[in-house]
C-alpha cells in the first residue's frame, strides 16, 4: 500500500506558485510489515516442532509469549554468569547446562505459543526476539571468555562471527522475505546441545584436549564454530547478492 503525500500550501508557495509535497506524520501512516518465510531444516527441527506444539497446547492461560521471552533472556544471562562462576568452581558448567535448557524452553516456545493462540505480533516479535538473541550471545560468549575454559580471543571471534551471520539473516529477511533459522542442518538447538555435551565432558575431565592435539576442548570447538559461521556467511552473502542482482537487473531491463 502506497502512502499518499500531503499537499502543503504555505505563504512562500503561494507567492512562487509552487506546491510543496510532504509525507504525513509517521504515526498516521498505515503499518505495513510482511512476515518473512521461516526456514528451519536442522537435525532436530522435526522433533522440536512436535515438542513445542505439545507444550504450547498445555501452557496455562496466564502464561503468555512475553513471559517466555523474558525467561529465555534471563536464562541466557545466567548461563554467561554460570560460565564465569565455573572459573572458580566446575559446578558452574552444570549450572550453565541447566540455563541452556531453560533458554531453549523460553526462546523456542514463545513464538510457537503466539501462533497456537493466534496472537502474533510480527514486527514486535521479530525486533524483540532478535535483539534479545544478540544480547544473549554477548552474555554467553562473554561468560565463556572469562571462564578460562576458552581463550578470550576465540570467544570474541565467535561473537563477531555470530553477529555478522545474524546481520546477514536479518538483511535477507528484509530484502528477500526469507528468514533462515538453520545452516547446514545446524540451528540454535544443535548449538545448545553441543555446548551442553562439552560442559559435561569438562565436568568429568576439566583439562580435556582434542585427541592427538594440544588444543583444549572448547578452544578447538570455538575455532571450528568460527570457521563454520564464516563459511556460512560467505556462501549465503554471495548467494543472496547474486539473487538480488538477477531479480532487480532483470526488472530494470523490462521496466
On the CB side of 193, CA atoms within 13 Å amount to: 9
pLDDT band of residue 7 (cuts 50, 70, 90) is very low
Say how many domains are in the chain: 2
Q: What is the pLDDT of residue 136?
A: 94
Specify whether 1 is located in the same domain as 41: no
Expressed as residue numbers, the domain containing 206 is 33-254
Residue 157: Cβ within 10 Å count: 20
Specify whether 93 is located in the same domain as 26: no
On the CB side of 106, CA atoms within 13 Å amount to: 22
Lowest mean pLDDT of 38-52, 110-124, 158-172, 231-245, name the range: 38-52
Specify whether 23 is located in the same domain as 43: no
**pTM (2 decimals)?**
0.81
CA distances from 150 to 18, 29, 180, 213, 224 (A): 66, 49, 28, 16, 13
Specify whether 229 is located in the same domain as 241: yes
Residues of the chain above pLDDT 70, percent: 84
Specify whether 37 is located in the same domain as 20: no
| Average pLDDT value for the chain | 85
Whether residue 251 is predicted with pLDDT greater than 80 in this model: the reply is no
Specify whether 18 is located in the same domain as 53: no
Specify whether 81 is located in the same domain as 162: yes
Amino acid at each position: 500500500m502506497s502512502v499518499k503525500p500531503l499537499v502543503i500550501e504555505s505563504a512562500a508557495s503561494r507567492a512562487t506558485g509552487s506546491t510543496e509535497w510532504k509525507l504525513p506524520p509517521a504515526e498516521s501512516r498505515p503499518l505495513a510489515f510482511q512476515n518473512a518465510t521461516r526456514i528451519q531444516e536442522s537435525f532436530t527441527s522435526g522433533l522440536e516442532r512436535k515438542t513445542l506444539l505439545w507444550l504450547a497446547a498445555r501452557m496455562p492461560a496466564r502464561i503468555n509469549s512475553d513471559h517466555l521471552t523474558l525467561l529465555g533472556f534471563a536464562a541466557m544471562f545466567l548461563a554467561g554468569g554460570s560460565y564465569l562462576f565455573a572459573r572458580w568452581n566446575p559446578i558452574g558448567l552444570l549450572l550453565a547446562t541447566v540455563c541452556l535448557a531453560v533458554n531453549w524452553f523460553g526462546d523456542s516456545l514463545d513464538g510457537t505459543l503466539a501462533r497456537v493462540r493466534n496472537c502474533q505480533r510480527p514486527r514486535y516479535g521479530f525486533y524483540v526476539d532478535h535483539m534479545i538473541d544478540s544480547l544473549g550471545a554477548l552474555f554467553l560468549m562473554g561468560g565463556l571468555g572469562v571462564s578460562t575454559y576458552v581463550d578470550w580471543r576465540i570467544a570474541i571471534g565467535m561473537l563477531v562471527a555470530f553477529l555478522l551471520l545474524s546481520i546477514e539473516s536479518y538483511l535477507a529477511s528484509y530484502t528477500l522475505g526469507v528468514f533462515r533459522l538453520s545452516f547446514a542442518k545446524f540451528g540454535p538447538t544443535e548449538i545448545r546441545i553441543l555446548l551442553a555435551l562439552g560442559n559435561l565432558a569438562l565436568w568429568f575431565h576439566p583439562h580435556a584436549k582434542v585427541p592427538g592435539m594440544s588444543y583444549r576442548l572448547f578452544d578447538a570447538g570455538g575455532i571450528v564454530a568460527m570457521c563454520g559461521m564464516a563459511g556460512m556467511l560467505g556462501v549465503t552473502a554471495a548467494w543472496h547478492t547474486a539473487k538480488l542482482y538477477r531479480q532487480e537487473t532483470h526488472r530494470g531491463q523490462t521496466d
